[in-house]
Amino acid sequence: MTYSPNPQLTAHYNRNTSVMSMFALIASMLVPPLGVVLGIIALPRLAVTGKDGRGLAIASVIVGAVLTVVQIVVLVLVFAWLGDQATAS
């Protein structure tokens, strides 16, 4: 007796998703500027290779950009608070 896998299940696992797009999304959450750069690099590569992952690349650019702005705002507020603390003492 031979085993034949369910085609509905194997179609899900045989996706041709770009590893760079996946890595860009992960990087955009850990190191946001790196995620933006990798997402921008991944977009034209996806057009050339024909792989899936365009949505992941776009999401990495958006998430990375938003988190980069948040980090900059937090840094400015922290430095303003530290400067205020230094002048108060």
Mean pLDDT along residues 11-38: 89
10 compared with 67, residue with greater pLDDT? 67
CA count, 13 A, side-chain hemisphere, 72: 8
DSSP the chain: ------HHHHHHHT--B-HHHHHHHHHHHHSHHHHHHHHHHHHHHHHHH--B-HHHHHHHHHHHHHHHHHHHHHHHHHHHHHHHHHHH-
pTM of the predicted model, to two decimals?
A: 0.78
Q: Does residue 14 carry a pLDDT above 90?
A: no
pLDDT in tens, 66-87: 999 999 999 999 999 998 888 8
The pLDDT value recorded for residue 21 is: 94
Would you place residue 9 in the very low, low, confident or very high pLDDT band (cuts 50, 70, 90)?
A: low
pLDDT in tens, 31-76: 999 999 999 999 999 999 989 999 999 999 999 999 999 999 999 9
